[in-house]
Structure 1
Amino acid sequence: MYGSCTSPEHVLDLIRSRGIQIVDLRFTDLPGTWQHASLPASQLSLADFERGIGFDGSSIRGFQAIEESDMLLVPDPTTAFIDPFAAVPTLVMICNVVDPETRQPYARDPRYVAQKAERYLRDLGIADTSFWGPEIEFFIFDHVSYEVLPYRMGFAIDSREGYWNSGRNDGTPNLGYTIRPKEGYFPAPPHDTFQDIRSEAALLLEQIGVPVEMHHHEVATAGQGEIDMRRDTLTAMADKVMIYKYVIKNVARKHGCTATFMPKPLFGDNGNGMHTHQSLWRDGTNLFYAACHYAELSELALSYIAGLLTHVDALLALTSPTTNSYKRLVPHYEAPVNVAFSKRNRSACIRIPMYTTGPENAAAKRVEFRPPDPSCNPYLAFAAMLMAGLDGIQRRLDASRFGPLDVNTYQLPPEQAAQVKSVPGSLGAALEALERDHDWLLEGNVFTRDLLETWVSYKREKELREVEVRPHPYEFYLYFDI
C-alpha cells in the first residue's frame, strides 16, 4: 500500500473504493515522534494537497514560537496506507510541513531535511541513489511502570521471559523457560514466547507496503526482538521506520504487552541498536563494490567510511541522541564503541557484512554503521550519515587510519587498545562535538544552523540537564550512609 498511490486523484479514488471514513495526517516532530490529526474523508479535496491543512506549530516540540505558530501540513499521496489498527476505516498519509506565508518547506521539518539530503547527493553527481537498511531492535515487556517525583523515583520492568522470573513461586504456574542474559539470539519456542507477536507485526508491515526480510528474537533476555525491512531510499526508509515503530507498539498493545525502542532499558544485558546498512548507487550500479579491494569495497566506499568515522563524535549527537543511548554504548554488549572498521567484526563502529561475496553479489555490498539506536529521528540520522559519508568522498579522506581492525577490539592488549579511539561517552560530549564539527552538515543547505542550534538547545535543556539535576537511585546505594 505505501508507495502504491501516485497522485492526489489516486488517493481520492482509494478513499471511495475502500469506504475510507477518516484521513489521518502524520508528521514527525524534531525529536522524532509521530504526531497526527484526523479529518473526515469527505472533507479532503484535491486542493488540500496544494494549499495544505493548518495546525499550531508552537505546540510541537522543536518547531515554532507562539508568535509564529501557524503552519501547514501538505499530504504526500505516495505515502498513503490504510491503518490496520483503526476500528473506523482510516487512511494515513505522511505530510511535509510548509510555512503558510512563504509557501516554502519548513527548515525544521525533519522529513524535508531527508529530502534535501537526497537532492544534494544527486546534485553532487557522485551517485543518484542511496539505499538504507536499518536493523531496528526493540523490547516487548509484559509490564513497565515508572515515576519521577521529588521524593520518590524509579522504574519496574517485568517479562515472562526475564531470567529473574526463573525462581518465581507466587502460586501461578512457572514453566521455567526464561532466557539467560545475552542468550536470547535465536532460541526456538518455548523460550521465544513472542514469535506470534513478531509474525503478526511482520505481516502487517507487509500489508501496509513495508517489505520484511526476516524476524527473530534478539540477544537480550526479556523479549528483545528485531524485524528486518528490505532496503529502500533515504526518505522512504525514514518513513518506514516511523511506520515500523507504530506497528510494533500497537501490535504489542493489542496483545496486552508494551514495546519500547529505548536504547538501554535493562542493566546487564544488550540494548536496542539500529545498525544502519548503507550504499551509494548510480545508473543501477552499486558504487561500493570493487572485486580487488579489502572486503570487496571500492575506494569510494572506503572514503565514505572515513567520512563517517572522522565525524563520528558529532554524528552521534543525531544518531544516538539520548542520555540513555550512552548506557548502551559501553564495551562487551556487542556495542560498537571502537572507532574503526572491519569485515564481520561487531565490536567496530563499522562492519562490512560478508554473507555474500563475488561479482554476482555486487548489489549486496554495503557498509553497516553500528552506533545508531532507534531513539533517533530517522530523517535526521540518515541525512547526517549520508552527509558525513559524502564529505569523506569529496575530501578523499583516508580510511586506513581507522583500520581495518580484524580482531576483537575488546581483547586487545592495553597498549594496543589505547590506540583505538572510542565514541563519546555521554550525550553532553556528543553535543559539544556537534557544536565544534558541523560545517559538513550545512553543505547544500541540507541542515541549517537554526535547526542544529535548536536541536542542541532542546537536547541540553529538555533532556540532558533534566537528567543531570535529579538524584539517581544508585546514588543512594553508594552514598546514603556516607
Structure 2
Amino acid sequence: MIDLRKVLTLTRSGEIEFVDLRFVDLRGVWQHMSIPAHELKEKNLEMGYGFDGSSIRGFQTISESDMLLMPDVKTFFFDPFFEKTINVICNVFDPATGKNYPKDPRYTAQKAENYLKKSGIGDISYWGPEIEYFLFDSLGYYVSPYESFVKIASSEFPPEDPNSPKDGYKILHKTGYFPVPPFDKLQAFRSEFVILLEKNGVEIEVHHHEVASGGQVEIDMHYDALTAMADKVMIYKYLARNLAKKYQMTACFLPKPLYADNGSGMHTHQSLFKQGRNLFYDPKGYAEMSEIGFSYLAGLLVNIKTLLAITNPTVNSYRRLVPHFEAPTSIAFSKRNRSATVRIPMYYKKIPNAKRIEFRVPDPTCNPYLSFAAQLVYGIEGIKNKLDPKKLGFGPHDENIYEMAKIEQTPNNLFTVLENLKKDQILIKSGVFDAQLVNSYLDVRTEDAQQNLLYPTPADFMFYSDI
C-alpha cells in the first residue's frame, strides 16, 4: 500500500491520471467509480465523493439516494491493468447523518474489530483465508425461458473424442494436488499472480494446484487483521479475474462448478491476541489449544446453522457441502481430520504464535467483511458463555467422521440457514451488525435464491423427462 503524501506527489507530477474509488456491496461485489487525479484533494478526501445509493442493490431507496464514498488513505494500490491509475478502498457514509452508513460491510468489519477490544478478551484478531478457485480456458453460460446451458473448457479435461489430438500430460480425476509441470499447466499463471499480489501489498505464503482437475488452484495469503484481510480478499479476486482475462482464461470462484469433483472453499484460519500473546495457545491442551480457543470454536459450532447464511451464501454453496469431496460437513472439531467443520492445524508444535483454528466451511462467494465479522462475533459469544465443545459433544473426533452416523451434518440448503438468520439475535445485539444491514442482506440473498429455484436445469430433464 502507498502512503497519501506519495500519492499526492504522483498526481501532481502526472504519473497518476486516475483514481479509482472502490467499495463493497452487500453481496461482496466490488463497485467503483473513477475520478481524474486532480480531484484527489485533501479537502475532497474530508468531504467525500457522492454517488447514487439507490442504484446499489440492498442499499438506499430512490427517495434517499445520496451517499458518500470516504477513501481510506491507508489502502491505495496501483492498478496493474490500467496505466497511470491508482485504486483506493472506501467506506460508505450517509450525508444525512454525517456518519458511517450502517449497511456498509466494511464498516461492519471495523465494528467487529472494536467489539473485540471493548470485550476485554483480546485486542486483535488475525485471519488467514485459503482461497480456492478454478481457472477455465473458457466459461460460457446462457439462461432464457427456452434455452439454458453451461459450457466449460479446460486443457486439463479429457478430450470428448478419444482420437482427438491432446498432449499426454493429463491430471486424472481428483488427482490434481501438487503435480509438477508439464502436468501442472498453471504454474506460470500462479507465479505471475503472486508477483502481482505482493507488489500490491498482499503477502503470499504458498501457491499450488488443487485436487480437482479442470484447473483448480490455491494461493494462500499471510495472515492479517480482520478488515485488512477482507480488503486483501477483494484485491485478490480483482487481480485473479483480470490476470485470467490477460491469459484468455476465466477465474471462477463458484464453490461447485463441476459435478463429481472437489469444490472450492475459503477455509479461514483465525486466532485472537492480547498484548502480543496468542490466546489460543496452551502447550498442555489438546492440540496445544487453550480453553479460550475451545470456547471460541464452540461458539462457531453452536451457531453454525445460522453462520452459514453469511459464510456460504449461495445456492451453489450447498452443492459443495456434501460428503466425500474433502467437504467439511460434520459439525465437529478435530486436529487433523479435514471432514470436520473446525480443524486445529498441527503442522508445527511449541510455536505459540502459530496456534489457530481453521473454520473449513466458508467459500469464496461470501462477503469477506461480513464473513469474518460474523465468525468473530460468534466466537466471542462462545468465550463469554464459557462453552465447552467437548461437553457439547463436538469432539474431538480424529477418526473418519463421514462414517460416524451420530455426528450432526451441516444444513443442505440455503433457505434453512437464511431462516435461521432471520431469528438470530446475537449478531444484532453485539452492536456489530446493524438490523438494517441484516434485513437488507436477507432480502438480497433470499431473492437470489428464489430466482435460482425458478429456473429448470438440464439435470431436471435428465432425471425426470422419462416419467
* Letter in structure 2 aligned against 1:457: D
Alignment of 1:12-411 (within 5 A): 12-16=8-12, 19-86=15-82, 88-162=83-157, 164-165=158-159, 167-170=161-164, 173-358=165-350, 361-400=351-390, 401-411=393-403
C-alpha offsets along residues 428-459 of structure 1, whole Å, 9 cap, x if unaligned?
A: 011111122x2221234110121111111111
What is the deviation of 1:410?
1.5
Runs of 4+ in 1 over 3 A off after TM superposition: 8-11, 14-18, 166-170
Structure 2 CA distance for aligned equivalents of residues 10 and 200 of structure 1: 26
- 1:474 is aligned to 459
Q: How many residue pairs end up in the alignment?
A: 465
What is the deviation of 1:17?
5.7
Structure 2 CA distance for aligned equivalents of residues 205 and 103 of structure 1: 34
C-alpha offsets along residues 362-391 of structure 1, whole Å, 9 cap, x if unaligned?
A: 100000000000000000000000001000
* Letter in structure 1 aligned against 2:349: T
How much is the aligned-residue C-alpha RMSD, in angstroms?
Answer: 1.2
SS at match of 1:318: helix
Does the 8 Å CA contact 2:377/2:430 hold for their aligned counterparts? no
Moved more, 12-21 or 315-324: 12-21
What is the deviation of 1:201?
0.4
Does the 8 Å CA contact 1:184/1:218 hold for their aligned counterparts? yes
SS at match of 2:415: helix
Structure 2 CA distance for aligned equivalents of residues 116 and 291 of structure 1: 32
Moved more, 363-372 or 425-434: 425-434
Q: Structure 2: any 5+ residue segments left out of the alignment? A: none
Structure 2 CA distance for aligned equivalents of residues 15 and 44 of structure 1: 8
C-alpha offsets along residues 308-331 of structure 1, whole Å, 9 cap, x if unaligned?
A: 000001000000000000000000
What is the deviation of 1:43?
1.6
- 2:446 is aligned to 460
What is the deviation of 1:467?
1.4
TM-score normalised by L of structure 2:
0.98
Structure 1 CA distance for aligned equivalents of residues 6 and 275 of structure 2: 29
TM-score normalised by L of structure 1:
0.95
What is the deviation of 1:18?
7.3
Moved more, 49-58 or 438-447: 438-447
Q: Structure 1: any 5+ residue segments left out of the alignment? A: none
What is the deviation of 1:82?
0.6
* Letter in structure 1 aligned against 2:444: Y
